[in-house]
Structure 1
Amino acid sequence: MTAHTSPARVARLGQNQYGKAEVRVVRVVRDGATHHLKDLNVSVSLSGAMDDVHLSGSNANVLTTDATKNTVYAFAQKHGVQSAEAFAIHLARHFVTRQEAIHRARVRVEEYAWDRIGPREGGHSFVRDARETRTTEVGYDGTRWQVVSGLKDLVVLNSTDSEFWGFARDEYTTLEETRDRILATEVAARWRFAWNSDDQSPPAWEEEYARVRGHLLDAFAGTYSFSLQQTLYAMGARVIEQTPGVDEIRLSLPNRHHFLVDLAPFGLENDNEVYYAADRPYGLIEGTVLREGAEAAIPVTD
């Protein structure tokens, strides 16, 4: 009689998380006749003792994603939204400290800017700002914090002071060298703060955002560029050198190519005046700049 044995287990549960994504919340502060607006898109991800829900279907340790959504709305009223970072910190601390099964929370926030329409009596009219989207990602494990702020969709252009020549060539190279070109990109940047403990005083988040953004723009405008890589490093290095509370910055710079239009068939010269902006494909330049002695911690991809 042949004995039957259970097959050897070949699968095991790996890293996992769950939460509520893209909770849209708008907070209005009514300061008499003048109103203030914060417009956020909040995504919460939770992880911890979640083996049972995956392996047996037991929901005993699962805080519902509906409760997560409701917490975002309640905290917008209870704590207000002083900054995207402060709001995310309030949420992350709540989930980790109130639920025993939750060991780590990650809160991502996008903030959309509105400009006041003025002068208008009452100060309650706004227009959606077409500039960049502000971002933050806060991680908390009950002991240590990681705050990575950032921005995306920041479109910048230099109409001169950019060259590109002396590059490697092979049998497939067709690009011509240039000593004067338009340099344009759509900046996505994420920077990690040194602050990581409640024992330390947190940064002034709003001021730090404005400071980093200003350094990125100043470095882009002030760098005579021989490559977009050189410009990327100049932007990152300026942030690290001028912002002591930032230990790491990661930049993603798509090269928004502008090509001179050939007007010779029409008997016209084109002395770096008329271009067409190519949508795709585009070069994508990415890199990280670190404070000396710091370890890289921002993930290469989301």
Structure 2
Amino acid sequence: MTATSRPGRPVLLGQNQYGKAENRVVKITRDGDTHHIKDLNVSVALSGDMEDVHYSGSNANVLPTDTTKNTVYAFAKEHGIESAEQFGIHLARHFVTSQEPIHRARIRIEEYAWERIATSDANSRFIGADEVRHSFVRKGQETRLTQITYDGESWEVVSGLKDLVVMNSTNSEFWGYVKDKYTTLQEAYDRILATEVSGRWRFNWTDDEQKAPNWEKSYGQVKKHMLQAFAETYSLSLQQTLYQMGARIINNRAEIDEVRFSLPNKHHFLVDLEPFGLKNDNEVYFAADRPYGLIEATILRDGAEARIPVDLTNL
């Protein structure tokens, strides 16, 4: 199709996509008296033969975004939600294989975790603990993420998390850095190291012929290795800790080829208590929220290609 043009210069349509963003779906699985919750925020983006709708307004190739929303809810019933990754794979495959004009589907999912509320012992006034398996409290640790992309031939699955706040109250130093006339920071030989982890990891599963990973187990194991590396690394810099977190994942999870972290340094500065006649022996700190150092890097398996965007907000 010839692009709409201005005199002497064509105006061309570039990359484009459309879909329904942030479809909130909560799936309750009732296993007798025991209930299980999956709480997702699903965003669908579709691309393909969409030139006509942009150039002329013809909707002949357009699957309504309302239909994509309905599909999310119907699939929650028809397929269930075993994991965010598997649910996204079902959706991406459906959109690409059921609609000829759609060549590529990208599904982004945030998952919000809930944990079961512990109850008291049974007595004459209240429902007993052995009877209550349907009450939950929203976890505040982190938001789980995944993005599934399918073009009809190959898959790309990138999972991750954000808003995971961690702290080491010791075993962290920062000294020996470059100093110039603007440097005022004092060297630290025993400091608090804290950050809010935003991380993504790319799986090497690329097609249906391969056996897919156990997505739920993989997420739990990645988080375990990440946290253990943070806790067990005697840190001389946040960069060193970041590398160890990524390396621990790569070395222990064969299904993952690439890890990218964005780690803001949540600074804790010792408060000067001398004006009050008090000695601050690494006990009282001021938690500064801004400005903050921002440490970012990608860790790769040998021979792997970096594909996760540098800006994690774009994923």
Structure 1-normalised TM-score?
0.97
Q: Does 1:164 align with 2:174?
A: yes
Displacement of 1:9 after TM fit? 2.6
Identify the residue that residue 194 of structure 1 maps to in structure 2: 204
Identify the residue that residue 48 of structure 1 maps to in structure 2: 48
Residue number among 218, 230, 236 corresponding to 1:220 in the alignment = 230
Distance between the aligned counterparts of 1:88 and 1:142, measured in 2? 14
Note the 1:117-136 alignment, pairs <5 A.
Answer: 117-119=117-119, 120=129, 121-136=131-146
User: What is the CA RMSD across the aligned residues, in angstroms?
Assistant: 0.9
Note the 1:26-175 alignment, pairs <5 A.
Answer: 26-119=26-119, 120=129, 121-175=131-185
Distance between the aligned counterparts of 2:215 and 2:178, measured in 1? 43
Task: State, as a whole percentage, how many aligned pairs show the same letter.
Answer: 69
Distance between the aligned counterparts of 1:48 and 1:193, measured in 2? 25
Distance between the aligned counterparts of 1:97 and 1:170, measured in 2? 60
* Equivalent position SS for 1:213: helix
Distance between the aligned counterparts of 1:282 and 1:88, measured in 2? 35
Distance between the aligned counterparts of 1:10 and 1:183, measured in 2? 54
Displacement of 1:122 after TM fit? 3.3
Q: Does 1:8 align with 2:18?
A: no
Displacement of 1:15 after TM fit? 0.6
* Equivalent position SS for 1:20: coil
Letter in 2 for 1:294: A
- How big is each residue's C-alpha offset from its partner over 1:182-228, in whole Å with a ceiling of 9 and x where there is no partner? 00000011000010010000000000000000000000000000100
- How big is each residue's C-alpha offset from its partner over 1:69-119, in whole Å with a ceiling of 9 and x where there is no partner? 000000000000000000000000000000101000000000000011123
Q: Relative to structure 2, which stretch is displaced further, 210-219 or 166-175?
A: 166-175
Identify the residue that residue 269 of structure 2 maps to in structure 1: 259
Letter in 2 for 1:164: F
Identify the residue that residue 125 of structure 2 maps to in structure 1: none
Letter in 2 for 1:67: T
Displacement of 1:11 after TM fit? 2.0
* Equivalent position SS for 1:220: helix
Letter in 2 for 1:60: A
* Equivalent position SS for 1:197: coil
Letter in 1 for 2:233: T
Displacement of 1:169 after TM fit? 1.8
Residue number among 279, 296, 304 corresponding to 1:294 in the alignment = 304
Displacement of 1:140 after TM fit? 0.3
* Equivalent position SS for 1:113: strand
Letter in 2 for 1:70: N
Displacement of 1:259 after TM fit? 0.3
Distance between the aligned counterparts of 2:305 and 2:93, measured in 1? 25
Distance between the aligned counterparts of 1:110 and 1:172, measured in 2? 42
Q: Which runs of 4+ in 1 moved over 2 A?
A: none
Displacement of 1:171 after TM fit? 2.3
Displacement of 1:8 after TM fit? 1.6
* Equivalent position SS for 1:130: strand
The number of residue pairs the alignment matches comes to 297
Identify the residue that residue 3 of structure 1 maps to in structure 2: none
Residue number among 178, 181, 186 corresponding to 2:191 in the alignment = 181
Distance between the aligned counterparts of 1:294 and 1:18, measured in 2? 31
* Equivalent position SS for 1:68: helix
Distance between the aligned counterparts of 2:61 and 2:293, measured in 1? 46
Letter in 1 for 2:146: T
Note the 1:239-250 alignment, pairs <5 A.
Answer: 239-250=249-260
Displacement of 1:10 after TM fit? 3.7
Q: Does 1:274 align with 2:284?
A: yes
